[in-house]
Amino acid sequence: MKLITAVIKPFKLEDVRQALAEAGVQGMTVTEVKGFGRQKGHTELYRGAEYTVDFVPKTKIEAAVPDSLVEQVLEAITGAAGTGSIGDGKVFVFDLEHAVRIRTGETGDAAL
Amino acid sequence: MKTAISSPLRLGVGLLALLGPALAFAQSPDKGDTAWMLTCTALVLLMSVPALALFYGGLVRSKNMLSVLMQVFVSFSLITVLWCIYGYSFAFTTGNAFFGSTGRVFLDGLFDSSTGTFALGATFSKATPMYEIVFVAFQATFAAITCCLILGSLVERIKFSAVLLFLVIWFTFAYIPVAHMVWFWAGPDSYTADANADELLASAGLIWQWGALDFAGGTVVHINAGVAGLVGAIVLGKRVGLGRESMPPHNLTMTMIGASLLWFGWFGFNAGSALEANGFAALAFMNTFLATACAVLSWTFAEWLLKGKPSMLGAASGAVAGLVAITPAAGNVGIPGAFVIGLAAGVVCLWGCTGLKKLIGADDSLDVFGVHGIGGILGALLTGVFNAPSLGGPGLVTDWVTVAMGYPGIGAQLLIQAKAVGLVVVWTAVVSFIGFYLVKAVLGLRVAEEQEREGLDITSHGERAYTG
């Protein structure tokens, strides 16, 4: 099993959700996050006070998938979240040791 | 119980008694005027709660939202109560050139329950009295909002108890005498053909005696509060983290709503200051409308040009700057004056909140001095200029016996205006310094640093503005 963590542009969330569902992903967790990469922040000016905002709002998606699905999932995310411009985000893949479905007690791929 | 002679403002009462019932009918307040002034009073209340509270509240961080709303709400109530206990009496009855007297303490004598008659006060027209109780209510809203304006310099760090104690001191020793000095006079009906005009003038407040023009409170309200705020910011010190941490406004939508409601309520403030529903009220109304729009445009375009983007906060600040600057001028200048004062206010107050603020270096958090102090001074001075009939102004009454209009000349009137500004700046600065240091000694001014970091909503008031 793998845990896929993708940080994407917030307005791409619906496209990515749809692409993941089509790729066979059964569920995911979404968090609103802030961060920075190569995309610069911006400055805000309130009367005389100028503030630099370094952290850009992003959306983080986490999905646990069986090993067999990883390639399709990566394709789905990069395809749906990409705009070609700086700040599109990143995808990270982690090994996932164990998973349990709380209601039934199923484990492993069956719990996903 | 009180004699009618104790206050020249009530000379209408004396005249009524002397002239007998034939003229009594002609001298009862006009119902239209009364309705207009009661409406204006409610409009000015709206300027404090919620308008000013929202305008200020949107500009602080979300952890301090309720503390700002609460400071404005309770200060407004506190000053209203003090106004009725002693404020009105000491501001608007005959005394010396600085203070009135105790004749109206607890609003004594406004209504005679044995005869069912209401005391009458003067307006600016002869034989046109108003119910004095209406004037009391109208002026109460002025005193209260002036005290609330100061809060903008102190937010996000001041103790709630310190706010209340300071305002009691400042209201008593700065607001009341300045209001008396600028606005108290014998009223037009006391200037009869055989009256001693010099004696009557001597019974007025000091700045009125000088001949300064202040239609609705450039000196009394805005310079008074603006300077007090700046002094408070200096004595209080900067907010923890200022300059190192971002402190952006948490809700400019609230600020826009507040600024818009201020604009709306300000019609009551300025047009109501004519004290009658007449041509001067209409002039003040139009000037208030126009100068504000001019200032929105001038601030917005100046910001766009100098800082790169036209901001909503800039437009809202421009509106308030225009409203402030046109306040002393409202019924004292013509339409040309409104254009110039409005356009100038937007640019000059932008500088007051940026260049000048950096120069002063104090954490006047919401720019009370930059907008109200600077805008008030600008408006007070330009009132003297654009009052000139040659510049479209109405001029001023030079003889209250014949109600002859005239104008002493731009230089002469500007000098009188500058003297008035100077006295008010010094007076309120001195009272504020003493007041803040006194409160510091008795209660302490600032909350503890951890409380400031956590936010005053939770630590001072035990509640949060936004939950869930």
Looking at residue B161, its pLDDT comes to 98
* Domain assignment of residue B393, yes or no: yes
> Residue B159, exposed/middle/buried by CB under 10 A (0-12, 13-18, 19+)?
buried
Looking at residue B102, its pLDDT comes to 96
Contact check, Cβ <8 Å, B313/A46: yes
Chain A environment of B309 (Cβ under 8 Å): 45
**pLDDT per residue over B230-269, tens digit each?**
999 999 999 999 989 999 999 999 999 999 999 999 999 9
Domains of chain A: which residue ranges? Answer: 2-111
Q: What is the average pLDDT score of chain B?
A: 93
CA angle B225, B60, B349 (to 5 degrees): 45
* Domain assignment of residue B466, yes or no: no
pLDDT over 80 (residue B53): yes
Confidence bin at B78 (pLDDT 50/70/90): very high
Confidence bin at B103 (pLDDT 50/70/90): very high
Strands A29-35, B120-121: parallel, antiparallel or unpaired by DSSP? unpaired
Looking at residue B169, its pLDDT comes to 98
**pLDDT per residue over A79-112, tens digit each?**
999 999 999 999 999 999 999 999 999 999 999 8
CATH architecture assigned to A2-111? 2-Layer Sandwich (3.30)
Q: Within 10 Å of residue B21's Cβ, how many Cβ atoms?
A: 7
Contact check, Cβ <8 Å, A46/B353: no
pTM: 0.89
CATH number at residue B126: 1.10.3430.10
Q: How far apart are CA B222 and CA B374, in angstroms?
A: 9
Name the residue among A6, A24, A26 with its Cα closest to residue A82: A6
**pLDDT per residue over B274-301, tens digit each?**
999 999 999 999 999 999 999 999 999 9
Confidence bin at B14 (pLDDT 50/70/90): very low
Looking at residue B190, its pLDDT comes to 92
Residue among A34, A43, A47 with most chain B CBs within 10 A, to mutate: A47
Put simply, whether B317 touches A (Cβ < 8 Å) is: yes
Structure tokens at B397: 């009454």
The domain in which residue B242 lies consists of 4-461
* Domain assignment of residue B361, yes or no: yes
Strands A49-53, A42-46: parallel, antiparallel or unpaired by DSSP? antiparallel
Write out residues 289-308 of B within 8 Å (CB-CB) of A.
Answer: 307-308
Looking at residue B23, its pLDDT comes to 42
Looking at residue B16, its pLDDT comes to 34
Average pLDDT score over residue span B93-97:
96
| Choice among B100-104, B128-132, B149-153, B195-199 with the minimum mean pLDDT | B195-199
- The domain total for chain B is 1
